[in-house]
Amino acid sequence: MAKTLSRSVDIIGVGLTNQGFVSNTPEVKYMTSRELWSWAAQEAVKDASITAKKLDALFVGNMISELSEDQYHLGNLLPQSTGLTVSEEVWKPSVRIEGACASSSHAIRQAAFAIAAGVYDIVIAGGVEINNCRIRSRDPGNPRKMTNEERLQSIYCHYDQAWEVSQLSIQDMVLAQWLIAYAKHYRLDVETMYDWLDARIFSNAYNGHLNPKAYWNGTIEELALNAGFEDPVAFLRSPDHNPVTYWPLRLFDGPRRCDGASAVVLCASEISEQFHKKPIRILGTGNAHGRSFSEKMYSQPFIVEAARQAYEMAGVGPGDIDIVELYDFVAPEYLIPLEDFGYFERGEAWQAVIHQRTRFDSDKPVNTSGGAAASSVVGSVGAVETYYLVKQLRGEAGANQVVPTPEIGLMYDAGAARDCIINIYGRLV
Amino acid sequence: MGARCDACKHVMLPPQSVCGQCYGYDLSWIELSGRGKLLYASVGKHRLMGLDFIQGTVKLEEGPLVPGMVIVDDFDFSHPEKIWDYNVANISVLAEIVKNPLGVESIAFRIIEPGK
């Protein structure tokens, strides 16, 4: 028997900050997690057409606030500024959840479970992250960019210290092997691998350049011209402008890390239409863990399992998915999940991307936001994806709206490429 | 050293306190041979150490998958694409304990039988 939510849950509000560096991006300059979260939360509460008084609890995802801000315990820091107050001195239930890059996805999932259990009716969940800057408690008014060592340490601390980090097993190199394994399995040559990597960059940039909330929304063609290249592919193959990092990956196959927050208001379905005319239903959710490497590598069993759970709960199949937002921190995390959760048949995703079928105006839209190449706010990823999917499913996505308006969307997030959450959202038709 | 389930003989590395296959709690230490096959490998620069190296995924003959540094004495790091050849050959490796550039005693895999 399929495991389902015992009480249906809808999303009635979403909010997203501008994304950038709190050290120097004007819209977010000098903000801490408190201010970023407040921005996203206020936007989500207004979008839900409620007041903060209606909120019963807060679940916030965050990955590295102790490293970036000397700040643990966001669960206590954020309820007052979110309006989760019983009185000036007493605040409502609130907790921070950490699951690496899947932190906010876990927060949304746990918030949905709390509503489904009947404990709460309306909950705010999401994520906040300062993940590219450093704010020291002794000098809070002077945020600066992280040093390279600080930035890497903030990532490496989410891997197995005894059996990976100390053994020189670098996650990005394992992920490079996902792509190598895929090419090996489907007998693609090296040049085709390079073509696929370029195609993903073009698809993401095509989608992301119409996204006003993206940290980077330029085009590869502009970057190429500015660097003196008529041919954008030649630019992407240039060792000076796009050097190899972990073969076959290059610099542009990684993310653009930045700071920001996103919030989601969840509500019991039986009352959701009191507040929002277009509630988006959480049809299914799945979570599974693994080690990020497997014998076959071109398919990750923990992704397959999370998808199985989500589809079973939702009562839909891969063929019902109209749109996907996925976390492609490194390029192979785009390719492998697309087949593991069945958006494309086995062995077909690489060709679909090369043919740019993943653009927002093509038949299999993926990352209409621009993906991690546009902005990557690590602990807030799932909430950011949820924001964009909700906008798409409502038909409110603006210039990169998928037409016709999609009915069912799938969100894929993964913490450290080993803690997978898949949520399936549906428009009520 | 790895762990082997007394009941179903499943071998685990890192050692665990419960069998991942039959859920049994009765496990014994087992000395692993260190022999295995290189399944996949990538090459790049360790960003903290500034050091070029090869990282691979090895399947030990006892069963466990292990990620780790791969030692290829004559690898030309100015041509990282040459690692492709090591991915498509069926390469045997043997583990050895080395002090890695982080100063940590770690498992590394040395290629012993290219193409076999």
Which of A168, A184, A295 would you mutate first to test chain B, the one with the most B CBs within 10 A? Answer: A168
Neighbouring-strand partners of residue A366: A324
What would the pLDDT profile of A222-265 be if each residue is shown by its tens digit?
999 999 999 999 999 999 999 999 999 999 999 999 999 999 99
Q: Which residues of B touch A291 (CB under 8 A)?
A: 65
Confidence of residue B116 (pLDDT cuts 50, 70, 90): very low
What average pLDDT does range A193-209 have in this prediction? 97
Contact A95/A59 with Cβ under 8 angstroms?
yes
Q: How far is A326 from chain B (nearest CA, A)?
A: 24
CB contact under 8 A, A297 and B40: yes
How many Cβ atoms sit within 10 Å of the Cβ of residue A229? Answer: 18
CB contact under 8 A, B81 and A170: no
Q: How far is A258 from chain B (nearest CA, A)?
A: 19
3-state secondary structure of B26: coil
CA distances to A71, A87, A111 from A46, in Å: 28, 21, 19
Contact A13/A46 with Cβ under 8 angstroms?
yes
Q: Which residues of B touch A162 (CB under 8 A)?
A: 14
Residue B1 sits at the chain A interface (C-beta within 8 Å): no
The answer to whether the pTM exceeds 0.95 is yes
Say if the ipTM goes beyond 0.85: yes
CB contact under 8 A, A295 and B84: no
What would the pLDDT profile of B58-113 be if each residue is shown by its tens digit?
999 999 999 999 999 899 999 999 999 999 999 999 999 998 877 888 899 999 96
3-state secondary structure of B49: coil
Which residues touch B100 (CB under 8 Å, ≥6 apart)?
Answer: A166, A167, A168, B69, B106, B108
Give which of A406, A423, A387, A427 is closest to A311, Cα–Cα. Answer: A423
What's domain A9-158+256-272's superfamily in CATH?
Answer: Thiolase/Chalcone synthase (3.40.47.10)
CATH number attached to the domain at A284-423: 3.40.47.10
Phi, psi of A276 (to 5 degrees): -135, 135
- Integer Cα distance of A84 and A9 in angstroms: 20
CA distances to A169, A294, B116 from A163, in Å: 8, 15, 28
Confidence of residue A166 (pLDDT cuts 50, 70, 90): confident
What would the pLDDT profile of B38-52 be if each residue is shown by its tens digit?
999 999 988 777 889
Q: Which residues of A touch B103 (CB under 8 A)?
A: none
Half-sphere exposure of A295 (CA within 13 A, CB side): 8
pLDDT value, residue B92: 96
**Where do the H-state alpha helices sit in chain B?**
83-88
How is residue A33 written in tokens? 């997690």
Residue A162 sits at the chain B interface (C-beta within 8 Å): yes
Give which of A318, A316, A349 is closest to A332, Cα–Cα. Answer: A349
pLDDT value, residue A93: 98
A9-158+256-272 and A284-423: identical CATH topology: yes
> What percentage of residues in chain A have a pLDDT greater than 70?
100
Helix (H) or strand (E) holding B107, with range, is strand B105-113
All structural domains of chain A with their residue ranges: 9-158+256-272, 284-423
> What percentage of residues in chain B have a pLDDT greater than 70?
97
Q: Pick B59's closest partner by Cβ from A148, A176, A295.
A: A295
What would the pLDDT profile of A87-104 be if each residue is shown by its tens digit?
999 999 999 999 999 999
Residue A2 sits at the chain B interface (C-beta within 8 Å): no
What average pLDDT does range A379-386 have in this prediction? 97
HEC string of chain A?
Answer: CCCCCCCCEEEEEEEECCCECCCCCHHHCCCCHHHHHHHHHHHHHHHCCCCHHHCCEEEEECCCHHHHHCCCCHHHHCHHHHCCECCCCCECCEEEECECECHHHHHHHHHHHHHHCCCCCEEEEEEEECCCEEEECCEEEEEEECCHHHHHHHHHCCCCCCCCHHHCCCHHHHHHHHHHHHHHHCCCCHHHHHHHHHHHHHHHHHHHCCCCCCCCCCCHHHHHHHCCCCCHHHHHCCCCCCCECECCCEHHHCCCECEEEEEEEEEEHHHHCCCCCCCEEEEEEEEEECCCCCCCCCCCHHHHHHHHHHHHHHCCCHHHCCEEEECCCCCHHHHHHHHHCCCCCCCCHHHHHHCCCCCCCCCCCECCCCHHHCCECHHHHHHHHHHHHHHHHHCCCHHHCCCCCCCEEEEEEEECCCEEEEEEEEECC
